[in-house]
Structure 1
Amino acid sequence: MTMRNSFDWTPYRRSTVGFDRLFDFLETGGSGAENYPPFDIEKVADDHFRITVAVAGFKADEIDITAQQNMLSVSGRKAPAPEGEERKLLYSGIATRAFERRFQLADFVRVGSADLADGLLTIDLVREVPEAMKPHKIAIGGGTATLIEPGKKAA
């Protein structure tokens, strides 16, 4: 039985740049397999975001982060235990199964850095709009248009 997510994401859509497709995914729900590993998305500043993924039990060399166009992919696969060092667990509550988590990124969002500490993988994202895409004021002159740099006044 699938339960529909009834949470209203509207306030977060207004204050979060670059994650519209992610909110669409969250609103439509997903199966239990898509909920591993759990993650947080945080707005650090106007053009700076952070994704934190809980990857307890994984080492840095067992996690792969790939950014391609507007897709960020985080995957993890435990390395097999060396011969003779197999553990005999009485109970296994820490999930160490292989995973792949994908995040849709908005245009001009790039991965700034990634860090693994205390079982949490943090990925910093930065939104960098090219200068040519930013709005510019145009001064109205006597037949010629003059471009005014943002923050400056016309002479």
Structure 2
Amino acid sequence: MSRMTPFTSPMLLGFDAMEKTLERIAKSNDGYPPYNIERLHSDGAGAPERLRITLAVAGFSEDELEITTEENQLIIRGRQIENGERDFLYRGIAARQFQRLFVLADGMQVLGAHLKNGLLAVDLVRPEPERMVKKINISVPD
């Protein structure tokens, strides 16, 4: 007997990649670093929806952080560089690596990112999609 998922419906065609992405996200959710996602209020009527993802990345410099988009995913990575010259009597703050993955809806765009006071903010916008209706011609073979 095969496993039934929401994406196995015959009405949902081509969503198998989305299902794999959701499974990968569910497996890699360790809670570090903590983050917020907020909706930013628009300046005027008809302005596209804007979102901000804020990650707590205290101890990371700009050079140790990387933000990329790959297909429909926003990937934020942090790699602290170990400084071997230090002699710790006690070490309670570990140099830690992380990778946070956010799946973006079609049309979502990254506006930019900034680092301030140990918080990395990534701004996103979702422009209104264009309504597109396309008529498909039916051909009849001879």
Q: Which runs of 5 or more structure 1 residues have no equivalent in the other structure? A: 1-20, 136-155
Spell out the pairing of 1:29-44 with structure 2 (5 A cutoff): 34-44=30-40
Question: Shift of the alpha carbon at 1:34?
Answer: 1.6
Which residue does 1:91 correspond to in 2?
90
Cα distance 1:95–1:48, how it changes in 2: closer, same or farther (>3 A)?
farther
Q: Is the 8 A contact 2:65 2:77 kept in 1?
A: yes
Partner Cα separation in structure 2 for residue 62 and residue 113 of structure 1:
17
Partner Cα separation in structure 1 for residue 34 and residue 72 of structure 2:
21
TM-score scaled by length of structure 1: 0.58
Q: CA offsets per residue over residues 93-125 of structure 1, 9 Å max, x none?
A: 334301101011111111101001111100000
TM-score scaled by length of structure 2: 0.63
Identity %: 45
Amino acid at match of 1:68: E
Q: Is the 8 A contact 1:47 1:127 kept in 2?
A: yes
Amino acid at match of 2:82: P
Spell out the pairing of 1:2-151 with structure 2 (5 A cutoff): 34-45=30-41, 47-81=49-83, 86-130=85-129, 133-134=130-131
Q: Which runs of 5 or more structure 2 residues have no equivalent in the other structure? A: 1-18, 42-47, 133-142
Question: Shift of the alpha carbon at 1:43?
Answer: 0.5
Q: Is the 8 A contact 1:58 1:96 kept in 2?
A: no
Partner Cα separation in structure 1 for residue 26 and residue 71 of structure 2:
24
Q: Secondary structure at the match of 2:90?
A: coil
Question: Could you say what the CA RMSD is over the residues aligned between the two structures, in angstroms?
Answer: 2.8
Runs (4+) of structure 1 moved beyond 2 Å? 28-31, 88-96
Aligned residues: 106
Q: Is the 8 A contact 1:57 1:94 kept in 2?
A: no
Which residue does 1:7 correspond to in 2?
none
Amino acid at match of 2:105: A
Q: Is the 8 A contact 2:82 2:95 kept in 1?
A: no
